[in-house]
């Protein structure tokens, strides 16, 4: 069977029609494509650590780490390399294959803190884990230094569609973000980029974000889909939690547009039922963050996630495998033939 075509030219209307399709049709299509490229029973476990918390100069309206809002998050200096590597070892012991280090920076500066992050990346790689960083904007040279240290992936989200963007962030532009993604790609580091739903955007803004993501060539190797975690003190604090079914639609649409990418069900899982999470997995989500905390907000603990996966008969991805791999998974099954 030939691999279905990977496209980068989906129109807004096509994506909207897909997103709005009756649930049975949308989920069947997403699940069918998912099985062509991925093992539908397996979920990649990633662990996040905030290596530099709070005090960020940016004005991202959702973010508890912005210095512009008065939240419970206190600014802290960059963690010690040893503390970070201890956390990475613990994450590995708990079954995570990817360790993601986040810093509340506007951009990377060429200073000693960056030298230390380079050491952290080398240390995580030496543990035979995938290493991911999210440090704000990056130049091509900085991306190359991270690549030389062995960085697997760089996370930099588009966050929302281009038209809604300036209602959420004014301190950096959409083009700034795309430039950082190009620098990451240029250095040969895989791209992790997605966004947040539930920030008051229209459905068309979600579609707009997906359209920009699918236009990237190649597609981002991983696509995090976050549900807004409203945090007291931020401008979005009073927004209601997103309906779980809206998240399922978003995951399914991302899966169809970017069939080879790892789609990560990211922030907001504490308020999602087990059933909604199960639907997200059926819709093509194949990665989650585990552990009690994301960067500064709560996340379901390891026990809860282990119990959920066990109840679904699903298993953590045993070892690292390159996203976008051409090999078909052994368990693609008969439905692989109906994709498209
Ligand atoms: N400072 C860096 C940057 O913005 O690129 C890296 C860290 S930043 C916290 C990483 C991402 O976390 C953001 O782009 C956003 O998508 C997500 N995020 C932050 N706060 C969130 C919230 N309250 N709810 C959902 N996602 C959130
Ligand atoms: C992503 O898309 N989601 C993660 C990761 N990339 C860095 C971060 C979610 C942060 C949620 C808010 C917090 O815990 O501070
Ligand atoms: Fe800073 Fe990143 Fe938070 Fe924006 S999302 S305020 S850049 S830490």
- For 128-184, write each residue's pLDDT tens digit: 999 999 999 999 999 999 999 999 999 999 999 999 999 999 999 999 999 999 999
Tell me which of 35, 192, 249, 280 is the catalytic residue: 192
Name the DSSP letter for residue 63. -
Question: Residue 331's pLDDT is what?
Answer: 41
Is residue 133 flagged as an active site residue?
no
Which listed ligand is nearest to 230 at the C-alpha?
1
Q: With a cut of 50, say whether residue 334 has pLDDT above it.
A: no
Q: What confidence tier does 5 reach under pLDDT thresholds 50, 70, 90?
A: confident
Burial of residue 273 (number of CB atoms within 10 Å: 0-12, 13-18, 19+): exposed
Query: Mean pLDDT throughout 199-219?
Result: 98
pTM, two decimal places: 0.93
Burial of residue 225 (number of CB atoms within 10 Å: 0-12, 13-18, 19+): buried
Cα(first)–Cα(last) distance of the chain, in Å? 12
Domain map (residue ranges) of the chain: 12-312
Is residue 132 flagged as an active site residue?
yes
- For 222-273, write each residue's pLDDT tens digit: 999 999 999 999 999 999 999 999 999 999 999 999 999 999 999 999 999 9
**Residue 104 beta carbon below 6 angstroms from any ligand 1 atom:** yes
Which listed ligand is nearest to 48 at the C-alpha?
2
Q: With a cut of 70, say whether residue 196 has pLDDT above it.
A: yes
Q: Which helix (H) or strand (E) holds 247?
A: helix 244-257
Q: With a cut of 60, say whether residue 320 has pLDDT above it.
A: no
CATH number of 12-312: 3.20.20.70
Cβ(191)–Cβ(153) below 8 Å = yes
- For 72-111, write each residue's pLDDT tens digit: 999 999 999 999 999 999 999 998 999 999 999 999 999 9
Which residues are registered as beta bridge partners of 66? 56
**Residue 159 beta carbon below 6 angstroms from any ligand 1 atom:** yes
**Gap between the Cα atoms of 209 and 72, Å rounded:** 30
Rg (CA), the chain: 19
Q: With a cut of 90, say whether residue 187 has pLDDT above it.
A: yes
Question: Residue 3's pLDDT is what?
Answer: 54
**Cα of 268 from ligand 1 centre, angstroms:** 12
Question: Residue 322's pLDDT is what?
Answer: 41
Query: Mean pLDDT throughout 16-33?
Result: 97
**Cα of 64 from ligand 3 centre, angstroms:** 8
């Amino acid at each position: 069977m030939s691999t279905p075509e990977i496209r980068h030219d989906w129109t807004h209307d096509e994506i909207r029609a897909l997103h709005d399709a009756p649930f049975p049709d949308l989920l069947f299509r997403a699940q069918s494509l998912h099985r062509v490229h991925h093992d539908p029973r397996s979920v990649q476990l990633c662990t996040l650590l905030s290596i530099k918390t709070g005090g960020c100069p940016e004005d991202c309206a959702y973010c508890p780490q912005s210095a512009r809002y008065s939240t419970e998050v206190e600014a802290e200096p960059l963690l010690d390399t040893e503390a970070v590597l201890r956390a990475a070892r613990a994450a590995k012991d708990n079954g995570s294959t990817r360790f993601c280090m986040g810093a509340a920076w506007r951009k990377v500066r060429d200073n000693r803190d960056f030298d230390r992050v380079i050491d952290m990346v080398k240390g995580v790689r030496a543990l035979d884990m995938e290493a991911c960083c999210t440090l704000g904007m990056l130049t091509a040279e900085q991306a190359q230094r991270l690549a030389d240290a062995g960085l697997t992936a760089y996370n930099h989200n588009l966050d929302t569609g281009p038209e809604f963007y300036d209602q959420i962030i004014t301190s950096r532009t959409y083009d700034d973000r795309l430039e950082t993604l190009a620098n990451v790609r240029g250095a040969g580091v895989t791209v992790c980029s997605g966004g947040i739903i539930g920030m008051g955007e229209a459905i068309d803004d979600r579609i707009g974000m997906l359209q920009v993501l699918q236009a990237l060539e190649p597609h981002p190797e991983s696509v995090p889909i976050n549900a807004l975690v409203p945090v007291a003190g931020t401008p979005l604090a009073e927004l209601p939690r997103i309906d779980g079914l809206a998240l399922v639609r978003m995951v399914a649409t991302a899966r169809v547009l970017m069939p080879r990418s790892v789609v990560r069900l990211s922030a907001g899982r504490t308020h999602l039922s087990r059933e909604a999470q199960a639907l997200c997995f059926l819709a093509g989500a194949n990665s989650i963050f585990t552990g009690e905390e994301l960067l500064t907000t709560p996340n379901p603990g390891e026990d809860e996630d282990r119990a959920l996966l066990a109840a679904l008969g699903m298993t953590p991805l045993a070892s690292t495998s390159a996203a976008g791999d051409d090999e078909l998974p052994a368990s693609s099954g008969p439905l692989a033939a109906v994709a498209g």
